[in-house]
Structure 1
Amino acid sequence: MINKSYKHWMIVFFMCCLAASSIGLCTNAIGVFYTLVAKSLKVLKGTFAMHATLSTLATALTLLKISKVIKKYSYKKVLLIGVILSSGATWLMSYSTSVYLFYILGILRGIGVGIYGMVPITVVITNWFDKKHGLATSLALSFSGLSGAIFSPLLSSWITCYGWQMTYRFMAICILVLVLPALIVPWNIDPRKEHLLPYGYQNRKETTKVQNNKIKLLTISFLCMCLFTLLHTSITGISQHLSGVAVSIHLSVTIGATFMSFTMIGNISTKLLIGFLSDLLSPIKAVIMMILTNCFSLGLLFLGVIHQEIMLLYIGSFMFGSIYSVGAVGIPMLTHYFFGNENYARTYSFIGFLTNVGSASSLTLIGYLYDFTQSYQMVFIIALCFHLINLILLVVICLRYNGVGDK
């Protein structure tokens, strides 16, 4: 069977579309609504942001079961259900006059995102790619950043011109349209069902022997990996509050949306970079480099807020996009690196759950932290502490890990 074909890269294109719709639009671009919708509903920003938290938690719970679901049922049908839930819930948000209705619709949208978001995307890429796994993963998930970079200012301008209600309807249409290529063109989640092998696959006896072993999850290394994931992804919510950061130092909402766009551009750049570095060096070294980059960005944001220096905030916002390179690309690659193909779906289902739990908790906590302190500086300090802890955890994982896929 063929292990290299145009179909492999067509699958990457489909995953790009799914990432742009599920992560880019439904997760990365929703921050532009926080300030204006909260004001319209006459609630605190943290109270409105709770709908995003509930959405992310619903995504997390969905991820625990989705790997089994996509093995049992046709993924095309599962994908259709997911996009209908996400697009439909977003459309109905335009008619919402109560924050509690936003909570319900946020949960429905979160379930939809879980059905065709991070775990299914990385499982498909892991099935289809043996070699160039890092490149394929980074290409696909970089489109979540590209989508966020394009739609954050676009949604912001639509809100200004047409109001947030109509903008939610436009957003719902975009969510659906982005998924259409993957729905229309025939393809299968397993390349062997199309008489193909994973890209660059070669039958290596030593690899087969390792991958056939079942990993024990309750190990120090796996628990450290879980804590690493939870702490890292709890920092990602800062990007959704960059619009609020701008407003807090008397800059316009439009400038705040530009900060978010710069973050999404950094998101794209660093996702592509981490995939290249992973294939060139190793996933561990690539992740460490991105964490250090993000630490530097937090320092710039901290100083930018103190001195109200817009250029520092622009540079810091761009570099802060590196947070997504680890959360979206680095963590799946580390999971694949340590646990192998055979155990990937099982291990990453739980790690993917924690990814969304971390993101969900940060969205609301950051909002409330600002509501009660009227400052984002404490948020940046806490994020730096989390990075320090994670670097220590990564060292522990590397020193103690002796399970399947140990390099």
Structure 2
Amino acid sequence: MKNSFYNGKIFYGWYIVAAGFVIMATVWGTVYNCASLFIEPISNDLNFLRSQVNATLTIRSATQMIISLFAGKIFSKFNIRKLMMISTLTLFASYFSYSLTSSLAMIYFLTIIVSISTTLLCILPLAIIINNWFNEKRGLAIGIAFMGSGVGGMILNSLAGQWISLYGWRIAYQILAFIMLISILPCTFFIIRTKPKDLGLTPLGSSTNKNKNVVEDEEEVLSLNDATKTIEFWAICLCSVILNISVNSLVYSGSPHLTNIGYSVTFSANVVSLYMGALAIGKIILGKIFDSFNIRSSLTISCSITILGLIGLIFADYYTPLILFIVFGGVASAFNTIATPIIAKKIFDKYDYNSIYGVLAAVGAFGSVIGPLFIGFTFDFSNSYIPSFILSIIFILIALLIFQFTMRKRVN
């Protein structure tokens, strides 16, 4: 642990990680993980169709994808920390305003503002900032920070459900809005710093020679356009879509598949709850894997873990395979949030990382949008989720072959 200290003190980057954990727990854990709780009460109270309220989930994903595409230009033009500070206030105002509206158009508008604020607060800026602070233990740092979304989701889901039952959905929105504000305002205003040099430090694992930072800042940075001329860039894009479609088979099909093959709703919910717990821990595990092995080995392990999770669902008629789904499925579902920023940093370290990671995040989000459609189509065709699991395994094997071919020269 000696590398975790800087001149005898805890390295400040770990405070950044702690702040990231709090932001992910309260923001992502609320905006994304609690969203489904409000669909039924809003529909019933305001006499909206369920599909009309469900559309907010699509709007949220589409907004995230669009903002991610332009993340490079946004973060190069504006200070990341200041954007996070502004987004803290806009997120509170817009999320609180959900409790005051009775118009579907206003709900959609607020969803766009909430989604923009969330995107500029969570995964994209945090991945960039943590990459700035850590040359060593980067995977562990990202894993710990992003683990917050799973922990926050488990806690806030339970609390939000109780608040909706006791006080109604409007009051629940207000309570959650204030929890976010109180939690993240100190993080974005007082703790977060974009780069180590802002505090006169260097990244963990680099030389403490301050002149080294000067040299690094003066190095020529290759553009996103330069990256698009490499086979590795397009291979990662293609495989990111494939893997996110496959991972969605785990995320969105677990509970309905279990009920479809005869398990009770309560049992299925308990299994998914354990799976979400494994997802939270899985972010740290996956981060450690990418810290400990080179790119090709890490990708092989990640793909194998995903396949094991899918096998667990295919044979879920028996209790024992469910352990595969819970344990390995949970780790596999952390791939996009954990592996993508690490892979982007390792392969495109001399490029415009902000722009490249933004595009890769958008590509991953596109795969997440396609995933539910793919699952729904295969289920309607076969009246079973198993074909989507089998096809997902085939997709993963294809992605693994592409990775192995394009990354064959990678030893980092």
CA distance in structure 2 between the partners assigned to 1:254 and 1:169 by the alignment? 29
Q: Is the 8 A contact 2:59 2:108 kept in 1?
A: yes
Moved more, 154-163 or 284-293: 154-163
Structure 1 156/363 Cα, relative in aligned 2: closer, same or farther at 3 Å?
A: farther
Q: Deviations over 1:268-315 (max 9, x none)?
A: 2221112222222224322321221221212222333xx3x6775565
Shift of 1:398: 0.9
How is 1:206-225 mapped onto 2 (pairs within 5 angstroms)? Answer: 212=220, 214=222, 215-225=226-236
Give 5+ residue unaligned stretches, structure 1: none
Does the 8 A contact of 1:67 with 1:120 survive in 2? no
Rounded Cα–Cα distance in structure 2 between residues aligned with 1:27 and 1:254:
22
CA contact (8 A) 1:211 1:342 kept: no
Aligned length in residues: 397
Equivalent residue for 2:395?
386
| 1:218–1:153 CA distance, 2 compared to 1 (3 A) | farther
Q: Distance in 1 between matches of 2:142 and 2:333?
A: 13
Q: Which residue of 2 is the match for residue 271 of structure 1?
A: 283
Aligned twin of 1:147: 152
Determine the structure 1 residue equivalent to 2:240. 229
> How many angstroms apart in 1 are the aligned matches of 2:18 and 2:34?
21
Q: Which amino acid aligns with 1:399?
A: R
TM-superposed deviation, 1:163: 4.8
Q: Could you tell me which amino acid in structure 2 is paired with residue 262 of structure 1?
A: L
2:307 aligns with 295
Seen in structure 2, the aligned counterparts of structure 1 residues 157 and 186 have a Cα distance that, compared at 3 Å, is closer
Deviation at 1:400, TM superposition (A): 6.9
- The equivalent of 2:135 in structure 1 is 130
> 2 CA distance for matches of 1:171 and 1:363?
28
Name the counterpart of 1:16: 21
Match of 1:218, as an amino acid?
A: K
Distance apart, 1:161 and its partner CA: 4.7
Contact residue 239 and residue 402 of structure 2 kept, 8 A: yes
Assess, with a 3 A threshold, how the Cα gap between structure 1 residues 84 and 212 changes in structure 2: closer, same or farther. Answer: same
The structure-2 alpha-carbon separation of the partners of 1:383 and 1:182, relative to structure 1 and needing over 3 Å to count, comes to same
* TM-score, with length taken from structure 1: 0.82
Change (3 A) 1:187 1:317: closer
Q: Which runs of 5+ in 2 are unaligned?
A: 1-5
SS in 2 for 1:116: coil
Quick check: 2:25–2:150 contact (8 Å CA) kept in 1?
yes
- CA 1:180–1:296 in 2, change beyond 3 Å: closer, same or farther? same
Percent identity, please.
22
Cα gap change, 1:375/1:113 in structure 2, threshold over 3 Å: closer, same or farther? farther
TM-score (norm 2): 0.81
Q: Is the 8 A contact 1:150 1:261 kept in 2?
A: no
Root-mean-square deviation over aligned CA pairs: 3.6
Residue 282 of structure 1 is matched in structure 2 by 294
One-letter identity of the residue aligned with 2:356: T
Q: Does 1:115 align with 2:126?
A: no
Tell me, yes or no, if the aligned pair for 1:18 and 1:121 is still in contact at 8 Å.
no
Q: Which amino acid aligns with 1:181?
A: P
Partner of 1:53: 58
